[in-house]
Chain A
Amino acid sequence: MPLTWTSKGNYQDMWVFCEQNNNQFVPCSIEMLGEARRLMDKYNKDYSADEKVVAVVFGYQIDALVQEAIERGADVVYSCDDRNLEHFLLEPYTKLIAKAAQGKDTYKSYDEPRYFLFPATNNGRDISATALAALDSGLASDSNLLYINDELIRHPVKTKRGDKVEEIVYPRILHMKRPDFSGFEWSTILCIDDEEKDFHPQACSVIPGSFKALERNSQRKGIRIPVSFGLVAKDLRTKIVKREALPKEADLTNKDVIVSLGRGIAKNPTQGIKLGLELAQVLNADVGISRGVVTAKYPVDPAYMQYIRDVRQVGETGQKVKPKVYIALGISGAIQHKKGMDKSKMIISVNADPNAPIKEFSDVFIEGDIFEVIPKLEAHLARALGGTK
């Protein structure tokens, strides 16, 4: 249940939940610390303030991680070092965050953090949601661009005073931009107080790879604050009984040749995949897909199910590939897809739409129906490659 109903509280600092896996930060954790450092350095200048970057690090035997968080940009690290917390666990981690964010201690005398960032990984998204439910505040997801400034707002509810909707300047607002609606739109989410209630922290999850981490700097100083509270049995009611590494089914990141399928396969998905696989075989290539294929959930022949799973997705939220040759079959070329493949040396695309955006970043654009073009291209390739495959 929500713990707070704050109004006109005192808020400070930017907090960053630093997820670790097997005692290593996931890359997004240090990327967020880097961005938090940049944002707060600018914030402190703009507002003549002295607010901090605060890292939250939980786990077991995490001294090295605490040190790394400081060297990567944190001024303060809230840590909890406990055998029970070795691996990510949603409930106790959430309670510890809520406790640190709302409690008072030698370092923290304000009511709640001003801003809070989480990684948009599986675990990071989950805890962003539960933590902000516990803190009773707002959350944007999947941001990849952040900035802070004062914003003039006119909103039918938030800025309604009496019967009138007014224009009100909200100071120090974190602007959280995110691509959404399956990549068609880009929206700016704000977390805004209303007349009766404050909504802090202003929080979001951050897409991995959006920001640059800082180089480690051993000269940087910071303080460590242990958080603890007697975890009770109820906090540990979900237990990890087994944990094993996920077999890396389809690692495309080091492939020389990749054939990727998009929703262009829609009119006959099974046949489309089959054609893609045949082409891949001639090229000794691996098969990737756009997210369009993942979300479409095509009813395909069970033998081909493995080719429409998200593990093969190329793009911003999938694998980033850089083969010698990337062949995009029926992929429109959304910016999120582009981010995962535009480092390819040669990009060939096949698309029925002569104006498909992917044309703008292809070396060769073949206009046509993939169901007709693939077999032809395949035959020519078999010849061109001769005995070399």
Chain B
Amino acid sequence: MVDCIVTVKGVPDFREGKVHFKEDNTLNRGETPTVLNPSDRIALMAALEIKVKHGGKVTVVSMGPLGYKTVLQEALEVYGDDAYLFSDRQMGGADTLATAYTLGMGMKKIGLPDIVISGFKTADGETGQTGPQTAWLLDYPIITHVISIEVDTGNRKVLARRLAGEDIEEIESPLPCYIITDPNFEASYRSATHRLRFLKLQEETRARAATIDSVFKAWNATELGLDPKKIGLKGSPTIVNKVEAIPTAPRERTAKVISGKDDQALAEVAKQIAQAIRG
């Protein structure tokens, strides 16, 4: 049995057509729907793989507004036995250090697992800092950019492959440990038993997601026993001093504009391309 906690976050849905902007071209978060952070889906798939192969429990945690319940629901659709939301006005505006402290304290209250798994980056914060900082505060050994995991329950060890810039490394770490999945992580199910269990667990978790309340808990700062100096805006060393829309690139080439329906023009472009390749 290997128990896992997976950290997930809600992010604005950045897909084409979903993003709304304010007049000054900055993001209008109120109008943009919140969805499960794409790289946390990968973290959940890693936890599911461990569950399929070794059993145990997968707990999903998030820090954010109460509305994040829908995000946890989306997470449970991938996999989760239960879900916790750390939610409090005072936690608002947290930077990564304050988030890491809050997540770490929450996990301690739930009970520290064999493996914590975080996604690589959030689609909105994009720092990739929260996972390593949480690991550091928990004093867990950390393996980042993980593309595959094997757990050796007998020797209480993890063997993980990770992307280290130009190299692939195989890292061995004792349990408990903290894993951060790379976007290129892939679960592998070679045996038929595993594939069947995978399907069965998937079915179960979707049912749980649909009726999330029986496995869902929200805790506020007091319930978590948090030091008010270490959370939210107050506990964040950094501030965002200014947000501007990124200026669009200055015009550098004067494009010849043609319509995709203009067959003759397309033929002309094809000739130009051919010439450019030869020349």
Say yes or no: A137-B171 contact (C-beta < 8 A), given A185-B243, A365-B255, A367-B258.
no
Q: Taking CB as reference atom, which chain A residue is nearest B269?
A: A364
Alpha-carbon separation in the docked complex, A263 to B237 (Å): 36
The reply to whether A90 and B132 form a contact with Cβ atoms under 8 Å apart is: yes
For chain B residues 203-237, which have a beta carbon within 8 Å of chain A? 229, 233-234, 236-237
The reply to whether B14 and A295 form a contact with Cβ atoms under 8 Å apart is: yes
The reply to whether B170 and A366 form a contact with Cβ atoms under 8 Å apart is: no
Contact of B126 among A158, A180, A345 (CB under 8 A): A180
Contact of B125 among A90, A175, A180, A348 (CB under 8 A): A180
Alpha-carbon separation in the docked complex, A188 to B172 (Å): 39
Decide if B34 is an interface residue (CB 8 Å cutoff). no
* 0/1 interface trace, chain B 44-62, chain A, CB 8 Å (1 if under): 0000000000000000000
The reply to whether B261 and A368 form a contact with Cβ atoms under 8 Å apart is: yes
Q: Taking CB as reference atom, which chain A residue is nearest B278?
A: A388
Alpha-carbon separation in the docked complex, A370 to B159 (Å): 44
Decide if A39 is an interface residue (CB 8 Å cutoff). no
Which residue, A141, A157, A334, A364, has most C-beta atoms of chain B within 10 A? A364
The reply to whether B169 and A240 form a contact with Cβ atoms under 8 Å apart is: yes
Say yes or no: A129-B96 contact (C-beta < 8 A), given A239-B171, A346-B272, A360-B252.
yes
Alpha-carbon separation in the docked complex, A3 to B6 (Å): 27
B137 proximity list for chain A (CB < 8 A): 1-2, 133
Contact of B142 among A91, A138, A175, A242 (CB under 8 A): A91
Say yes or no: A241-B172 contact (C-beta < 8 A), given A134-B136, A137-B237, A335-B249.
yes
* 0/1 interface trace, chain A 164-200, chain B, CB 8 Å (1 if under): 0000000000010001111111111111101011010
Decide if B163 is an interface residue (CB 8 Å cutoff). yes
A181 proximity list for chain B (CB < 8 A): 12, 27, 124, 126
Interface residues in B, total, Cβ within 8 A: 92
Decide if A221 is an interface residue (CB 8 Å cutoff). no
Chain B interface main SS type = mixed
What is the distance, in angstroms, from B45's C-beta to the closest C-beta of chain A?
11
Say yes or no: A245-B167 contact (C-beta < 8 A), given A372-B260, A373-B260.
yes
Alpha-carbon separation in the docked complex, A237 to B97 (Å): 24
What is the distance, in angstroms, from A158's C-beta to the closest C-beta of chain B?
7
For chain B residues 227-279, which have a beta carbon within 8 Å of chain A? 229, 233-234, 236-253, 255-261, 263, 266-267, 269-274, 276-279
Say yes or no: A185-B253 contact (C-beta < 8 A), given A126-B132, A130-B132, A190-B239.
no
The reply to whether A242 and B170 form a contact with Cβ atoms under 8 Å apart is: yes
Q: Given A243-B167, A359-B257, list of 12 further CB < 8 A pairs?
A: A1-B139, A21-B165, A87-B169, A129-B96, A138-B237, A141-B126, A155-B239, A180-B126, A187-B241, A242-B170, A310-B183, A360-B253
Interface residues, chain A, with chain B CB atoms under 8 Å away: 1-2, 21, 26, 87-88, 90-91, 94, 121-123, 125-126, 128-130, 132-134, 136-142, 151, 153, 155-158, 175, 179-192, 194, 196-197, 199, 237-246, 256-257, 263, 266, 283, 294-297, 309-310, 324-325, 327, 333-335, 338, 342, 345-350, 354, 357, 359-369, 372-373, 376-377, 380-381, 383-385, 388
